[in-house]
Chains A and B, each alone.
Chain A
Amino acid sequence: MMKMNNNAAERQEIEALLPWHAAGTLGRREALKVEQALAHDADLARQYATVQEDLVETIGLNESLGAPSARAMQKLMADIEADVSTARRVRTSFNFGGWLSDKLSSFSPRTLAWSATAAALAVVLQAGLLAGMFVSERQGRLYDTASFPTEHVASAAGTYAMISFAPQATAGEITKLLESYKIALVEGPNGGVYKIRLAVTSLPKEEVAKVLKRLQDESSVRFVGPTAAD
């Protein structure tokens, strides 16, 4: 009975994903799940055909709506010219190219030649130092995984969680939140989700649950939960 319920729920979930599968916007794992279900479920495959039909006609309908006239761009540029933030930005933005060109034009050709030689030497020296650092770093290390550098494994002690911030949360609000909870961002974002360190030590489960509950109630947090390993 329970297995039947599970199958029904899974089918429903796959049914809900059909539009995204048709549009090609599912992740690899979900797309594979849908593909497998379509191969074994004729009724689902028929439903998928109607989804594809809807997709084609929705695109056709939108494409038939035409495009805005040049007036939209003209209005935008006029609004930008009239906007107070434009004058402020133009005043405060620093034109490095212009500054450099002004400075260089004031030097004699001989001074410029010496400066160029010195700069070239500095670049060679810096390249040598970087190469040395790279070689010494690679020695004694077997491999790195792309997703998780090996040095993180060595320092993985502590309590971690996954978090996703509310779309309307500003950088300032997020920084304030991280500071007030003494949280460090460790990895991410991966699909909008960050890995955070709640504490440098391993906290008891009850304590972790309390912190997560408080975080979930914060307006700048969309979702927070334990890491997959917890």
Chain B
Amino acid sequence: MQTTSDEALIGRIAAGDKLAMQVLFARHHVRVYRFVLRLVGDPSRAEDLISDVFLDVWRQADRFEARSQVSTWLLAIARYKALSALRKRPDEELDEETAAAIEDPGDDPEVAMQKKDTSVVLRECLTRLSAEHREIIDLVYYHEKSVEEVSKIVGVPENTVKTRMFYARKKLGELLKAAGVERGWP
């Protein structure tokens, strides 16, 4: 069985095909949701935002020029929507919710370390990275985006992408060290 490509679906969406829209949504909404959730930290808000992301796809499908993968385009729209939503909130709410997005409500790394589970500690540390570092780690490891694609999504030059990723890894190593996990790097 041959699957319709994302690009073909976008072509059909541009012509007003709602079924194609549902197929594209089914194919990508979970990953887009997780990307947005890691940025805004609120499941209900993330759900609203992904509807907005795909509504933008519906409206702008005729302008998609296939210079990048459809999934890269979706993540770029999602990132823009998530950051705009964070900016729109009142300062107090922003501070509180951004902190909630950055800090996981679970055990802190030291407590997790006492439980002697490196995997848990590593996940705890991943949630404690800055939003910028979390984003790049997710894009590279989970969303499997190349240097060029990350550069398109985040809107920074490719060299900055590499440097940012390097520092994200370094920061992660430092958090792990502070939590008692020594990996020999950095």
Contacts and interface: CB of A to CB of B under 8 A. Distances in A.
Interface of A: 15-17, 19-20, 22-26, 46-47, 50-51, 53-55, 57-62, 65-69, 71-73, 75-77, 79-80, 83, 85-86, 89-90, 93, 165, 167, 170-171, 189, 191-192
B63 A55 contact: no
Contact of B30 (A25, A67, A71): A67
Contacts of B140: 19-20, 23, 25
Contacts of A51: 169
A64 to B, nearest CB: 8
Given A58-B138, A62-B38, A19 B18 contact: no
Contacts of A170: 63
A62 B142 contact: yes
Interface of B: 15-16, 18, 21-22, 25, 29-30, 33-34, 37-38, 43, 46-48, 50-51, 54-55, 58-59, 63, 65, 67-68, 76, 119, 122-123, 126-127, 137-138, 140-142, 144-148, 152, 155, 162-163, 165-166, 169, 172-173, 183-185
A90 B16 CA distance: 6
Contact of A72 (B33, B137, B163, B172): B33
Contacts of A65: 33-34, 37-38
Nearest to B65: A171
Nearest to A82: B55
Given A26-B146, A73-B29, A89-B15, A19 B50 contact: no
A54 B165 contact: no
Given A57-B122, A68-B47, A83-B59, A167 B67 contact: yes
B51 A86 contact: no
Given A54-B169, A75-B47, A75-B48, 12 more contacts: A23-B140, A23-B141, A54-B126, A55-B141, A62-B34, A62-B142, A65-B34, A66-B43, A67-B30, A83-B58, A86-B16, A167-B76
Contact of B137 (A58, A76, A191): A58
Contacts of A54: 122, 126, 137, 141, 169, 172
Contacts of A66: 43
Which of B21, B29, B50, B169 has most A Cβ within 10 Å?
B169
B42 to A, nearest CB: 12
B25 to A, nearest CB: 6
A22 to B, nearest CB: 8
B126 A58 contact: yes
Given A65-B37, A83-B58, A170-B63, A93 B169 contact: no
A17 B63 CA distance: 33
10 contacts: A15-B166, A50-B183, A53-B183, A61-B127, A67-B33, A68-B50, A72-B50, A90-B16, A167-B152, A192-B67
